[in-house]
Amino acid sequence: KPQLVASNDRFCRFLEEYCPVVTETYYPTIWCWEGRVQTLLRPFITSRPQVQYRNELIKTADGGQISLDWFDNNDSLYYPDASTRPTVLLLPGLTGTSKESYILHMIHQSETLGYRCVVFNNRGIAGEDLLTPRTYCAANTEDLEAVIHHVHSLHPSAPFMAAGVSMGGMLLLNYLGKTGRDTPLMAAAIFSAGWNVFESVESLEKPLNWLLFNYYLTTCLQSSISRHRQMLGKLFDMDLVMKARTVREFDKQFTSVMFGYRTIDDYYEDASPCRKLKSVGIPVLCLNSVDDVFSPGHAIPVETAKQNANVALVLTSCGGHIGFLEGIWPRKCTYMDRVFKQFVQAVFEHGNKIFSM
């Protein structure tokens, strides 16, 4: 059974009644028992539901643009009125977009419940051009704030929540820690977030993890900016950035410099959501596996979570990073998908029972 960490008895009872999956035994796929295997195989094993998006480009205050992919769900039987149709904002991982299988599954789950989804693609990675020499990072919440304001202004009467995966979850937590209760979001769901960036990069630099994940992730980061080389070359030595062989080296030469941090340690400290968890002011459910090499179990802020009545952690012993595969042949629904579906439905259909916490 997963470990449920929450100091608020009402929140616990709410989850047990309306999101019972968090108290049920999780049986990982028997031939995927190890976290790294779960992490590596999930993108290849899970199906990719068909989703038709409507793309929207919005302008930012600094002259840049953000690509949003909307799933309007105009055929919703439960919420035919678009003005009050519940809306879920989805934040993919570090180099992820609306095409990731885990995002497609979240939209598929939302579609069956009648909800609308919008995917926040970070600058420059969803095929759109960079209009300014700026991308994104886990600590800077300005773009997310702009997106949340934009979506809420379009549908001010619609119930509104968000779900973030991996770095998307870190960004969402950092935003919530900054805004407290001053947000149009009703609640949030966080999956496989890296809580302490120092511990995450140290784990990823262990020899086997570097071979399996770190080098590949670094090349993905480099690939995501290489298309914008002409624009970014105005501020950066791109040849030096392209020589990075670890995420830490990439962040030292590129990310921390872009966002004005004096050192990479300053950036990693600011990017770590564990520092802001006490300030979260709306109900948040966070799912992590303790065998996730991207977010090692010993770095999950269990004691800090117990100090905030708005926070609940669900910790599994297996599952890896955005893995959570279950069943003999886990093509369709993962444990993470089920947690997402039940929690989102619980918030939209019964949320009044926790908002008085």
The dihedral region occupied by 190, where left means phi > 0, alpha psi between -120 and 50, and beta the remainder, is beta
In 3D, which of 189, 183, 199 has the Cα closest to residue 166? 189
Q: At what angle do helices 167-179 and 142-154 cross, to 10 degrees?
A: 80
Catalytic, 321? Answer: yes
**Can you name the residues that pair with 312 across neighbouring β-strands?**
6, 285
Element (H, E) at 4: strand 3-6
* Cβ neighbours of residue 317 closer than 8 Å, sequence gap 6 or more: 289, 290, 291
CB atoms within 10 A of CB 9: 10
Tokens 């900016």 sit at which residue? 225
User: Using CA atoms, how far apart are residues 15 and 354, in angstroms rounded to an integer?
Assistant: 10
Between β-strands 160-165 and 116-121, what pairing exists: parallel, antiparallel or unpaired? Answer: unpaired
CB atoms within 10 A of CB 122: 24
Query: Contact 289/321 with Cβ under 8 angstroms?
Result: yes
Q: At what angle do helices 264-271 and 197-204 cross, to 10 degrees?
A: 110
53-79 CB burial, b ≥16 within 10 A, e <16: beeeeeebeeebebbbbbbebeebeeb
> Which residue of the set 224, 292, 295, 337 is catalytic?
292
> Which residue of the set 251, 256, 321, 337 is catalytic?
321
> Which residue of the set 166, 192, 224, 295 is catalytic?
166
DSSP state of 2: P
Biggest CA-to-CA distance, the chain: 55
User: Using CA atoms, how far apart are residues 272 and 306, in angstroms rounded to an integer?
Assistant: 18
Q: So which residues are the catalytic ones?
A: 166, 292, 321
